[in-house]
Structures are given as structure tokens and as C-alpha cells.
Amino acid sequence: MTTTHAPVGIVGAGPVGLVAALRLASFGIRSVVLEARPELFKQGSKACLIQGDVLEVLDKVGCADQVAAEGVTWHVARTYIRGKQIRETVYPPRLGFGPFVNISQYRVEQILLARLLTEPLCEVRWAHRVSDLTQDADGVTVQAVTPEGTRELRFAHLMACDGIHSELRAMAGVNWTGYSHSDRFLITDIRAALPLAQERHFHYDPPFNPGRQLVIHPQPDSVWRIDWQLPPDADIEAERRTGQLDQRIRAVIGDIPYEIDWLSTYRFHQRVADRLRVGRILFAGDAAHALPPYGSRGMNSGIQDADNAAWKLALVAAGAAGETLLDTYHQERHAAANENLRVTEATIQFMVPPSRLRRWIRNAILRLAAPVKSMRGHVNSGRMAEPYVYRDSPIVDNSPLAGVFAPDGLVVVAGRPTRLRRLFGAEFVGLYVGADPAQAARFVADARRDDSEIPARLVLVLPPGTPAGELSHLATVAHDTEPGLRAAYGGGQATWYLVRPDGHIAGAYGPERAADFAEILRRGAGSAAQPELVPIPAKEAS
């Protein structure tokens, strides 16, 4: 009999793989993370920004507060042309976490790993490089090269989170569609006391990088990321030897003392795997899609991949849903990746025009943007990341707010203030928003009429002071403390929403549909039918 080491194997101990393991553990599912590196080590800041809604995912695994406390929260993005500011975009304060928090990917990984090491359902095996894999109708077998030799491990499902150079894509026969751009960029993370506001600063054609772009982002501990678009003949290693790199940096910061914390050159990519699910294997993060850094969609979308996959794998592992639910992982997250590619492609076309005509148009916009206010909106400096709306998902109903990340709001539960989003994440939630406690009681009675194998609970949002009575024994009663919450959920007649474990709304219904709660819940969790798997055959011995 073949031994299964864990229900889920995860290849890659980056932020996506670590979040996947922690989210699976939050559902009671054990996982083993296989990482080729011998340990976690610093590779510069790499990704350097977490969007506020993505911090909600980290909140579900107990890491968001520390990330937010250590990071730099910012609310303003400034765009400059030839050193003159032409646009200020202000992101208003929000409940919970700020709109954007800058912190190095390495530090995020450290925080996630420290949390994972306290979780008995998670295990990381360092220096385990997956060299081969096969799958059949019951699971996935991987060969991992270790310092002690090659080991064979078996899992019911496998998540490939092994990055942009994923070897698992080729092993699974997945095509890596799209392109890599020819232009090179330079990242330098410098430690310096710069007299800049802790905001995003995007420069077109500045005097310190003429004809090209430059972005400056604040980081914790007086570190600043400076990201240059390089000329074709730039040789950074030669610049380090000759002192030209120092001149490049000093052209931006002046005579302020600094030290280089990390630097690297890169080319950006516009790529997506053609399949995010191959049988029992799911691809996530940079193994599934590669994006330019503008708008900070890489790590953010990867963490959302992990959150989406984890609750679906957990239901399948528990026998509460069939394998077809995993098809919706591809459908939802592939659509999200393609949306990100559309947004970033528009930015690339503006930043690095592919033809003389497009360059002429771009340059004309840049010339006119300073004197002509109406032209400033045409300057594309990258649209910031936000959660994808699963409007076209087969497990999301066509209804108000369908597919959106559920709005947040302040509530009081059992006398204690909290946020509504902190009541989501562990299972499906039937969220009732209304004013009449008698109608709320009927909703609870109808919704609890039929049992379901799918974990779910009921949350009632009622006006302040509304007596909960016996309802508090049957559901979580939350009293809203501000009118904005009720308005965000429609503000009109009583409605209940099915909120998924990833916080997205699967559908909105009138109270009369409460008796259909179990049926709607099963639909939100996908079909129980078993599909025909696409196996990866075992390789013949050579």
C-alpha cells in the first residue's frame, strides 16, 4: 500500500506556498512544503508591497498585524514628468489595514515561516528539490533530491508554488504563454535618510534618468527602493567598478549618505500558464503567472491564489466536495491572471511604446500633461492591485455584489467591537443583513432546516440595540455601529449573502430563499461529481 505523506504537498516556501500551508491548516488540513533551498535567505526586497485586501488573507493566518506594524503604510501616489508633479492620487484611509503596506518579501516570508513553525499541521522540508512527478486517480507522487539522496513522497494533491522558473510546469506539460520584455530594469534598495514623503513616487523622463522611467518606494528601516529603466548598453557590474553606479544613485538622492542594501537587474514578464489545474496539481503564484512590478500584482495575486485554492482543497480533502470544485480554481484564478495581464499590458504599452507611432503618441501626452490638466489622466504609471471580482465564476450566482470581496464594517459581537471581515474565513457564512429580529429568527430557522456536509455558520447583522434573545445561541449576532456597512450591502430590504471562506460573495438572496440554504451552499461549493483526471504518466526507465 502506498503511504500518503499528507493530503497536500506544496512545492515552494515563498510567500504563496507558506500562505497556502497556513490556510490549509486553518481548515484542519495537513500539508508538507518542499523547498529546494537549504533555508530561507535574503534575496533583496523582491516584491515590496502588500495591498490592504490581501492583508486580510494574512489576517486569517495570524500574520497581518505584524506585517502592518513593521511595514510602511502609504496613501498617496505621485506622478512626475521631467521632475514636475502632474498628478496626486490619494487612497483614503480604510477600516482594518491601510490601502498599501510596503515591506520586503523576505520579511513577509520570515513572519509567515515563524507562524508556520508553531502550526502542528504544517511541515517544511528544506533542501528538497522536486526532480520528477507522476499522478494517478488517487494522488501525486514526487521524487525529491535531498542531501541524503532521492526521496519519494506521496500526496493526494499538489500545489506548485515554485516560482517564475517553475520546473513543475514542464513536468506537468503546462504551456507558459506570453512574452518577456527586452528592456532591462535595475532595482537598488538603499538605506538612507531621504527627505521624501513616504509615498509612491513615479517619474517619467526625470533629469536623473532622461528618456526613461524611475520609481521610488519607501521601505521600513529607512530603506528606499529605486527602480530604474535602463538604457540598452547599461552594464551595472562595470558601473559598480568605475563608480558610475554611485553617480547614478547620487543623481537621484544628492549628497545624502547611503549604503546599498541589495541590487538586481531584471526584465519584466507578461506570462500565464495555460492551465492552472492539471489533474491533482494546482499552479499558484509566479509558477502560474508572471507580471511586471507596476501595480504590485505579483505577490498579491499569488497570495490570493493560495487563499482560493486552500478552501477548495480543504473541502475536497474532507470529502465535502468533489474534484470538480478544483476546476473552478483554474476558472477563477486564470481569469484573474488575465485581467492583471490586460492592466499591466496597457502600462507597458505606455511606458515602453512598441512602435514609432505609439512612442510619438506617448511623448505627446507627456508633453501636454503638465500644461493641460485634462491630459493627466492619460499618463499611465500603473494601476494599483485590487481583488478580482469572480462575476463569471460557475459557482457564483448572478446577483448584487456577486463575486466581490465582501465589504467590511465595524460591528459589535457579544459586547466586543470587531470588524465584519474577521467573522469570515473559517467556513462558508450565511450573512443576513436586516433590521427585523423576527425576520432574522425566521431566516435562522429556515437556513438550519436541512443539514449539509459543508461547514457553514450564520452571521446576523442587526441595528444597534436590537435584542438578540435566543438568536445568539443559534448564530453570531453582530450589531452594526455605522450606516456605511448597511449601505455597502445594499441598504434596502433584508438580504442574506453566501460568503465563501476566501471572503468573496457567492450570491445574494431574499429572506424567502433561506429554506434553500443547503442547496445554495452545495452549489457554492461546486459539484460533487468526480471528473476524469488528466494523468501525468510515469516516465519509462532509461
- Is residue 90, in this structure, part of any structural domain at all? no
The reported pLDDT for the residue numbered 44 is 60
Beta bridge partners of 215: 202, 227
Quickly list DSSP for 332-350: HHHHHHHHHHHHHHHHHHH
Helices 298-317 + 52-60 axis angle, to 10:
30
Residue finishing a domain among 221, 245, 266:
266
Are 121 and 199 in a shared domain? no
Residue 463 lies in a domain: yes
533 occurs within a structural domain: no
Q: Which amino acid is at 128?
A: H
Q: Which of the residue ranges 27-31, 467-471, 472-476 has the most confident prediction, judged by mean pLDDT?
A: 27-31
**At which of 250, 266, 282 does a domain end?**
266
Can you give the pLDDT at residue 533? 35
Does the structure show a pLDDT above 70 at 341?
yes
Alpha-helical (H) ranges within 377-496 are 437-447, 483-488
327 part of a folded domain = yes
pLDDT at site 384: 87
pLDDT of residue 109: 97
Per-residue model confidence (pLDDT) at position 387: 93
pLDDT tens, residue by residue, 81-112 = 999 999 999 999 999 999 999 999 999 999 99
Average pLDDT over residues 110-134: 98
% of the chain at pLDDT higher than 70 = 96
**Higher-confidence residue: 490 or 10?**
10
- pLDDT at residue 174 in the model: 98
Q: Are residues 302 and 440 in the same domain?
A: no
Percent pLDDT > 90 in the chain is 84
133/190 same-domain check: no
pLDDT at position 532: 36
**CATH classification of the domain holding 433:** 3.40.30.10
Picking from 233, 266, 299, the residue at the C-terminal end of a domain is: 266
Alpha helices in 448-539 (DSSP H): 483-488, 517-524
- pLDDT above 50 for 233: yes
CB 76 within 8 A of CB 99: no
Residue 380 lies in a domain: no
Domain identity same for 22 and 137: yes
**Taking the model in full, what pTM does it have?**
0.94
CATH number of the domain at 218, please. 3.30.70
pLDDT of residue 529: 37
Place of cell 509566479: 286
Judgement on whether residues 203 and 276 belong to the same structural domain of the protein: no
| Three-state DSSP class for residue 503 | coil
Q: Looking at the domain assignment, is residue 442 inside a domain?
A: yes
Kindly state whether residues 169 and 198 are assigned to the same domain.
no
- pLDDT over threshold 50, residue 244: yes
Q: Is 273:161 a contact under the CB 8 Å cutoff? A: no
Domain count, the chain: 3
Same-domain pairing of 293 and 159: yes
- Both 66 and 164 in one domain: the answer is yes
Degrees to nearest 5, angle at CA 42 with 40 and 46: 115
Query: HSE of 101 in the Cβ direction (CA atoms, 13 Å)?
Result: 25
Does 534 have pLDDT greater than 50? Answer: no
Q: Are residues 34 and 125 in the same domain?
A: yes
**Do residue 53 and residue 32 come from a single domain?**
yes
Asked if the structure places residue 365 within a domain, the reply is no
Query: Does a structural domain hold residue 362?
Result: no
Q: Tell me: the pLDDT tens digits for 182-199?
A: 889 999 999 999 999 999
Domain identity same for 168 and 190: no
pLDDT at 362 over 70: yes
pLDDT at 505 over 60: yes
Res. 477: pLDDT tops 90: yes
Looking at residue 468, what is its pLDDT? 81
What pLDDT is attached to residue 528?
36
Does residue 215 sit in the same domain as residue 323? Answer: no
Q: Please, which residues have CB within 8 angstroms of residue 213's CB and are 6 or more apart in sequence?
A: 202, 203, 204, 205, 228, 229, 351
Assess whether pLDDT exceeds 60 at residue 504. yes
Q: What is the CATH number of the domain that holds 297?
A: 3.50.50.60
Domain coverage including residue 214 = 185-266
